[in-house]
Chains A and B, each alone.
Chain A
Amino acid sequence: MALPLYYNWRNLLVRKLSTGLTFVIVAVVVAVLAVLLSFSEGIRASMKSSGSSANIVALQTGATAESTSIIRPEEAARMMQTPGVARGRDGQPLVSHELCVQASIPRRPPPGNPANVAVRGVDDTAFLVHAEVQLIEGRMFNPAAHEVIVGRAARERYRNLEVGGEITIGRSTDKTFSVVGIFEAGGGALESEIWGPRSMISDVYLRRFTSSAIMRLDDPGMALAAIEYIRGPAVRMNAKTEADYYVDLSSKTREIVVLTTILIAIMAVGAVFAVATTMYTSVDSRRREIAMLRTLGFSRGSVIAAFLTESLLICMVACAVGLLGSLFVSGSRQDYLSDQTWTVIAYELRITPVTVASAVGLSILVGVAGAVAPALRAARIRVIEALRKG
């Protein structure tokens, strides 16, 4: 026969102080877990939604990112024959030759210090290849003017990037560009960038070469053949799917996950001790009550279940509150500097289903681990002795 849940709830309320303090500990640990996970989840989500497996990124052999790749016109021309490349309405291959450079743009205060933001020079083809890029505000840039469009994440994180803003881009400081539109790109890394007409961007950076070629395939199944062709003697360049390219760029995420796991494990063990202290005290102060329950016919299992339930009740309510608290940071933006592109990615801190599941899992783990030993102790109480001593 199991004890009613009401009994557990009332017991928790009797010991308001220790229940409350234990609750606060678990809630804080869950909130820290959620916030730490939201860092890696935000970057991972940003990178995951960045690449299409139907797109191939071609870089100069040896270059690890677009920012350090230089492709000369004759090399770019050789890629136009890549097998499987889709064609536009005009019959031209959907190969976007892009120039990736950087501009120093101040963050929104605080702290307001400058960040290295990616600037991408593109032609019309880029919008057919990066089909996920959609204008959400303003208009497209004029290819013959000093105008740019800005990713949504970049606008939120950096200064002067609203429509109508003016920014300095280029090798010299006298070249300003007007922001005429805002785009989104499915929440991916491209949303941290500034896009402008390639010819204009080339002019102000004095760059004659492009950085990368992004090509759209008719069928993602052709990716392997296209990559082999580009890596082969006909082109001799490095190529990978766009999805793989961004996964490789997010290698730092793995380090963050490892670090987060270690920190959370340490905090969680601390929380287990806190819960166990509370539950042991609860057992010690209820010896006669437990003996009475046993006399009334409640089994050892019922007693164990009662203490586990109490512990889990504290932890699950604390989990809900901790998660609610962490929602305050959800949606805010942080940025990190990629050590491969030397540009920042303004990712969004996200409380995802993975975060919620991890928080619930941790709470159950802390609740059970903290209550098992005290519950077993409760189950082993000698009934006669406990009733006699009180």
Chain B
Amino acid sequence: MLRLTYVYRNLTRNTRRSVMTSAAVALPIVIFVLSTAVIDGITRFLDNSARQLRLAITQKTSIVNPLPEGHRRKIESLDPTGTRILAVCGLRWIGGQRENDPMPLSTLGVDHDTFVEAFPEHRLDREEIDAWQRDKQALMVGRNTATQLGWKVGQRVTIMPSVPPYTPIEFHIISTMEKAEDVVTLWFRRDYFEEILKGEGKEYPEGLVSFYFVKCGSKADMDHFRQEIDRMFAGTLDETKTSDEKTFMNEFITQQFDLPRNLTILSAMTVFVAVIAAMNAMSMNVRDRISEIATLKALGFSGLFALALILAESLLICGLGGLAGSLGPYIAFTYTPLRKINIPVIQTFEIPFAMCIKSVLVALGIGLLAGAWPSWLALRMKVVAALRNLE
């Protein structure tokens, strides 16, 4: 039977090498954890989009081309009962900045009457909803953005839109969306924006939305209306492209450096580096102990014992490296100010504990690969030849 104390003793015989090998595994694991966290964040974000049973509607030729606000009534007319199409919400992107602050804001004007029903994941309470319906200048701010800008509920703020009328717009903050999944975006009422546009009297285009979101009753309804909506507007001046929200969001994400694909490649490369580093160390360990392994076998220990000894040592070194490499980022992004970091698209950067376990398993896999060849050599070692070579 494999004696764990023996494995431990082996590990501490060249402590420096063991520690450095663990570190050489731990550091790639840090990159693996961070990359996987971003990829998982994107997947989680897209899965959440899929769960919301929403359709996204854009102008067919480009997402940047706006759609007329009149489309909303036509879409709603597809389901007079209101049981299959639960809410149609038009969104107008205005970007924006604070005065004398170049930091770009993600500000969206929405149809205030359908917003709450269309986006239930914002989990607004009764008071917030009442204030939203009552106050035309209402602004709801994602909590991370609010913290970053030092904005509080009840405060009056001014935003310079990046689109016409390009004049300062004053808002009242009514919520910092403490329970929402979106922690970045700023939401305001589109009717207020239209009122400002009309008041400018500068012939700026009015009554436009950047895209619509349609909350459906079921998956079957989504599939049905995805085709129905495009069919209704086919051949008109403003043809639509309707897709489920997950597909819509994914188009954005793949345009940002094709992040999921490139991060997967980076993770694979770092794991490969860790395997090579650990393999190098384990080969050295076996080479240093040729006489010892040969003696063990001469004493009657089986080749499998030698194999298990080397493999166990490799697994232990790499497992410890994996533990350090995964716990480091986990602690940093869970218990320090880094937990509030904003990442575009996925918004919140999370390293769940399950990912630490997954990373340790990957590290054990690295250990298995790294120990495979040296332990095979130990298994096949000819005792006489090994002992003779030491003369």
Contact = CB atoms under 8 A, between A and B. Distances in A.
Q: Do A and B come from one complex?
A: yes
A340 B45 CA distance: 22
A270 B276 contact: no
B284 interface: yes
B64 A336 contact: no
Contact of B30 (A17, A168, A266): A266
Interface centre among B23, B24, B31, B254 (most CB of A within 10 A): B24
Interface residues of A, number: 60
B255 A168 contact: no
A62 B272 contact: no
Given A270-B273, A281-B17, A63 B163 contact: yes
B217 interface: no
B277 A25 contact: yes
Contacts of B166: 60-63
Point out which of B97, B251, B254, B277 has the most chain A C-beta atoms below 10 A from its C-beta: B277
A21 B279 contact: yes
Q: Which of A29, A60, A64, A103 has the most CB of B within 10 A?
A: A64
Contact of A25 (B17, B23, B162, B276): B276
Contacts of B254: 111, 113
A17 B30 CA distance: 27
A267 B255 contact: no
Contacts of B63: 102, 104, 116, 342
A104 B284 CA distance: 57
B102 to A, nearest CB: 8
A280 B14 CA distance: 11
Interface string B248-281: 0001101111100000001001101110110111
A174 to B, nearest CB: 8
B257 A334 contact: yes
B64 A116 contact: yes
A173 B31 contact: no
A45 interface: no
Nearest to A60: B166
A327 to B, nearest CB: 16
B352 interface: no
Contacts of B30: 266
Contact of B202 (A64, A72, A111): A72
A278 B280 contact: yes
B160 interface: yes
Interface string A217-235: 0000000000000000000
A270 B277 contact: yes
Interface in A18-40: 18, 21-22, 24-25, 28-29, 31-32, 39
B276 A72 contact: no
Given A68-B163, A266-B30, A114 B251 contact: yes
A25 B277 CA distance: 7
Contact of A67 (B26, B64, B270, B274): B64
Nearest to A117: B62
B17 A171 contact: no
Contact of A273 (B24, B202, B255, B276): B24
A319 interface: no
A335 interface: yes
B299 interface: no
Nearest to B26: A270
Nearest to A343: B64
Interface in B89-131: 95, 97, 104
A280 B28 contact: no
Contacts of A101: 62, 64-65
B12 to A, nearest CB: 16
B65 A205 contact: yes
Q: Which of B160, B256, B266, B280 has the most CB of A within 10 A?
A: B280
B16 interface: yes
B225 to A, nearest CB: 20
B31 A39 contact: no
Interface string A277-297: 110110000000000000000
Contacts of A31: 269
A336 to B, nearest CB: 5
A201 B346 CA distance: 36
Contact of B280 (A21, A63, A205): A21
A21 B21 CA distance: 13
Residue among A116, A173, A273 having the largest count of chain B Cβ atoms under 10 Å: A273
B161 interface: yes
Contacts of A206: 237
A276 interface: yes
B61 A172 contact: yes
Contact of A340 (B16, B104, B239): B104
Contact of B255 (A116, A172, A274, A340): A116
Nearest to B374: A17
Nearest to B210: A342
B344 to A, nearest CB: 7
A18 B280 contact: yes
A85 interface: no
A354 interface: no
Contacts of A359: none
A270 B280 contact: no
Interface in A192-210: 205-206
Interface in A63-86: 63-65, 67-68, 70, 72
Given A62-B161, A70-B164, A273-B24, A113 B270 contact: no
B167 interface: yes
Contacts of B257: 39, 334, 336
B27 interface: yes
A273 B21 CA distance: 7
A172 B237 contact: yes
Given A64-B97, A334-B257, A22 B280 contact: yes
Given A25-B277, A68-B95, A171 B237 contact: yes
B255 A28 contact: no
Complex A-B, nearest 4 residue pairs according to Cβ-Cβ distance, in ascending order = A62-B166, A270-B27, A337-B255, A21-B280
25 contacts: A25-B276, A31-B269, A60-B166, A62-B160, A62-B167, A64-B104, A70-B164, A101-B62, A101-B64, A102-B64, A171-B61, A205-B65, A266-B30, A266-B31, A267-B27, A267-B273, A270-B23, A270-B28, A273-B277, A274-B277, A277-B17, A277-B284, A335-B255, A339-B104, A344-B255
Given A32-B266, A63-B162, A276-B20, 18 more contacts: A21-B276, A32-B269, A60-B166, A62-B162, A65-B162, A70-B204, A104-B62, A114-B251, A116-B63, A171-B59, A171-B238, A172-B61, A267-B28, A270-B23, A271-B273, A273-B21, A277-B17, A277-B24
Interface of A: 17-18, 21-22, 24-25, 28-29, 31-32, 39, 60-65, 67-68, 70, 72, 101-104, 111, 113-116, 168-173, 205-206, 263, 266-267, 269-271, 273-274, 276-278, 280-281, 334-337, 339-340, 342-344
